[in-house]
Structure 1
Amino acid sequence: MRILVFTNTPAHVHLYRHAVARLEERGHEVCVLGREAGCTTDLLEFYGMPYRTYGEHVPETASRLEFGTALASQFARIARATLEFQPDVVFGRGPYAAAAGTLARAPTVLVLDDEPTDFNHTISRPFADTILSPSVTRRDLGDAHYTFDGFVECASLHPEVFDPDSTVHEYLGIDADEPYAILRFNALEALHDAGLEGFTPSQRRDLIDRLGERLTVFVSDEGGTLDLADLPARPYDLHPALIHDAMAGASLLVADTGTMVTEAGLLGTPALRYRGTDDHVYGEFQELERQGLVEQFDTYAEVRDRALALAGDGTAADRWQRRREAYVTDLVNLTNLLVDVAEARGSVDRLDPSSRRVVRPRSVVSR
């Protein structure tokens, strides 16, 4: 079989990397179409995935002309790659996957989470043969929509597929028993981030100053605008493929972005999310809050005070790990499901009984 996979962001690389490797091991031909967005191509290279690039991420600051020109160029490259590859099934999300599946007349599988915008869903839903999402997703996308108990991040972070690198402290240049925090500051340039505000520059500096008095602080600044020269922190500068190992070894993660908070929670690392002006209700965060793995805050003072309390709590890491073991182990290993759906040519009805049991129609999931 020939399987086409879209990786529009770094998170999508992690979503599909184990499935791609396993499908290739089973003799299938896989083509990954990636977009230059953040560290996407760095990850594709690191994991040796068979990829081509179809374009670059267009920031929200681009003009309509720039956006339209870039979009037309991307769709043209996707069309050429799709016609050359002739896939039997397409995996992705949004208009890119929908266009490729339609052009190739191949079943299209969308793997979605509870993102705030309707654009991707509205454009792609009519062309999808199968839609997969976590059971906590709040949308009902019709008869083709199936859910599973877990998160899209379970494809790379389920205990069956993720084994943290115990030498990550060495890579970070700190002692093996030295506690550290990771602060992740969002650039807020994605389509779903339009109009949102996270930590202000002064709040970032204040948080670093205060946390730096209690433990070692590493800063991952997506926008690259924060000067750490006079602050008690170091830039997080490991290869992006090591971020999950670094999060697994951290005593605390604080962020104004969603994906890394979800990932840290699933790894059993105390994870705090500052909502800022984001008032969208995400099913994933609600579930992780119920499990005691993630905490969310509406004001800077609240997230700051909670971060300082956890930084001084020597028992917090053990509590979070116990919660993780009690909850995450029983979630669906999404990599297994993706491989099974690919080999069933995108059809849930063709899955064998054991695989079919882990998905259910969204319409029967209680809201």
Structure 2
Amino acid sequence: MRILFNICHPAQVHLFKNLLWDLEKKGHKCKITAVEKEVSLNLLDAYGFEYEVVGSAKFTSFSKAMELIKIEYMLYKIARVFKPDILVGGVGNVHVSHLGKLIGKTSIVFDDTEHSKIEHLLMDPFATVICTPASYRISLGNKQIRYEGNHELAYLHPHYFTPDARVLNDLGIKENDTFIILRFVSWGAIHDVGHAGLTLEDKRNAVRELKKYGRILITSEKPLEKEFEMYRINLPPEKMHDLLYYATLLYGDSATMASECAVLGTHAIFCDYAGRGYTDEEEKRYGLVYNFYNENSMGKDSLVKALELLNNPNLKREGKQKRETLLAEKIDVTKFMADIIEKYGGL
């Protein structure tokens, strides 16, 4: 079977990497196309994947529309040569759904973001299958397949991930040290228009209060204010999950990283106007992520919760115990994805 993967976000490199290796071992021919966004190409290089760049992330509605046309034209040209049997994409992948309909091939999208309304409007009518976590808040009709898991389990399940403590040496940290990771996203997606997450004052308050408990490390998609540069992490992106495993707490506005922490047994504070079904579940069912959705008070309320957690001397141990419960109740997502692709690949 010939399978075309279109990767539009760094998280999708992680989502699909084990799947790609598994499919290739089974004798399937996989082709990767990539949209350049943040560290997506760096990750593909780090894992040794060959790929073709078909476009780059844009930040205005007009430029996004123009780039969409360019990307789909590039994908069409590649598909004419590669001749895929099936097309695969991640969250909101309009491109593979359109291309699949155009060339008469099956398209499968693995989505976990309910509030991406424009992407769903453009994608859902054309996609063949849309796979979502069971915790997904909305119904997408007959095309939707729900499963007991989330994207982060595809690469952070113990079947595929073993933490490497050497990352701590690189940063001068000991395994039992208290350190807090702050993560700030770019807010450049279509569904984020009109929203900005944590304010500068929220970030200042968080740094001032959290550093009383341990070392502060900041990772950010966008440029940081000068006052925060001393906390920025200079770490190869493929090592970030090792760091998250050993962290005491994550604080920020990244849904993906909050969920990664949950799967790793590290507590996370997630600040976002819309939230996600999977982070809701990780709070209500497992007590590993704490969600704050009120844009008027999220900075204050989330910081109160962060300080409460840091005052628990058993926080790390309790997090790892909660992780065991989560893992016992969830599936091997990479295996699920491989089964779905092989099932629908002949359509």
Identify the residue that residue 12 of structure 2 maps to in structure 1: 12
AA aligned opposite 1:293 = L
Identify the residue that residue 169 of structure 1 maps to in structure 2: 168
- What is the correspondence of 1:1-367 to structure 2 with a 5 Å cutoff? 1-59=1-59, 62=60, 64=62, 66-92=63-89, 93-228=92-227, 234-275=231-272, 278=273, 280=274, 282-290=276-284, 291-297=286-292, 298=294, 299=297, 300-346=299-345
Tell me how far apart the structure 2 counterparts of residues 14 and 319 of structure 1 sit (CA, whole Å). 26
Contact 2:35 2:57 in 1 (8 A): yes
1:294, distance to aligned residue in structure 2 (A): 0.7
Tell me how far apart the structure 2 counterparts of residues 329 and 244 of structure 1 sit (CA, whole Å). 21
1:20, distance to aligned residue in structure 2 (A): 0.3
**Cα distance change, pair 172–217 in 1 and its aligned pair in 2 (3 A):** same
1:212, distance to aligned residue in structure 2 (A): 1.4
Contact 2:118 2:191 in 1 (8 A): no
AA aligned opposite 1:304 = L
Tell me how far apart the structure 1 counterparts of residues 61 and 248 of structure 2 sit (CA, whole Å). 42
1:120, distance to aligned residue in structure 2 (A): 2.0
Look up the SS of the partner of 1:114 in the other structure: coil
Which segment drifts farther, 141-150 or 294-303? 294-303
Tell me how far apart the structure 2 counterparts of residues 270 and 104 of structure 1 sit (CA, whole Å). 45
Tell me how far apart the structure 1 counterparts of residues 206 and 140 of structure 2 sit (CA, whole Å). 40
TM-score, structure 2 length as denominator? 0.92
Tell me how far apart the structure 1 counterparts of residues 220 and 191 of structure 2 sit (CA, whole Å). 19
AA aligned opposite 1:292 = G
1:310, distance to aligned residue in structure 2 (A): 2.3
1:76, distance to aligned residue in structure 2 (A): 1.5
Over aligned residue pairs, what C-alpha RMSD do you find?
A: 1.8
1:281, distance to aligned residue in structure 2 (A): 5.1
Look up the SS of the partner of 1:164 in the other structure: coil
Where does structure 2 lack aligned partners over 5 or more consecutive residues? none
1:114, distance to aligned residue in structure 2 (A): 3.1
Contact 1:114 1:139 in 2 (8 A): no
Look up the SS of the partner of 1:272 in the other structure: strand
Contact 1:156 1:162 in 2 (8 A): yes
Identify the residue that residue 359 of structure 1 maps to in structure 2: none
TM-score, structure 1 length as denominator? 0.88
Tell me how far apart the structure 2 counterparts of residues 128 and 71 of structure 1 sit (CA, whole Å). 16
Tell me how far apart the structure 2 counterparts of residues 235 and 89 of structure 1 sit (CA, whole Å). 41
Contact 1:2 1:30 in 2 (8 A): yes
**Cα distance change, pair 71–129 in 1 and its aligned pair in 2 (3 A):** closer
Look up the SS of the partner of 1:126 in the other structure: coil
Tell me how far apart the structure 2 counterparts of residues 296 and 252 of structure 1 sit (CA, whole Å). 14
Count of residues in Structure 1 that have an aligned counterpart in Structure 2: 340
Tell me how far apart the structure 2 counterparts of residues 30 and 108 of structure 1 sit (CA, whole Å). 14
**Cα distance change, pair 274–324 in 1 and its aligned pair in 2 (3 A):** same
AA aligned opposite 1:23 = L
Contact 2:101 2:127 in 1 (8 A): no
Identify the residue that residue 357 of structure 1 maps to in structure 2: none
Contact 2:182 2:218 in 1 (8 A): yes
Where does structure 1 lack aligned partners over 5 or more consecutive residues? 351-367
Contact 2:280 2:291 in 1 (8 A): no
Tell me how far apart the structure 2 counterparts of residues 272 and 325 of structure 1 sit (CA, whole Å). 20
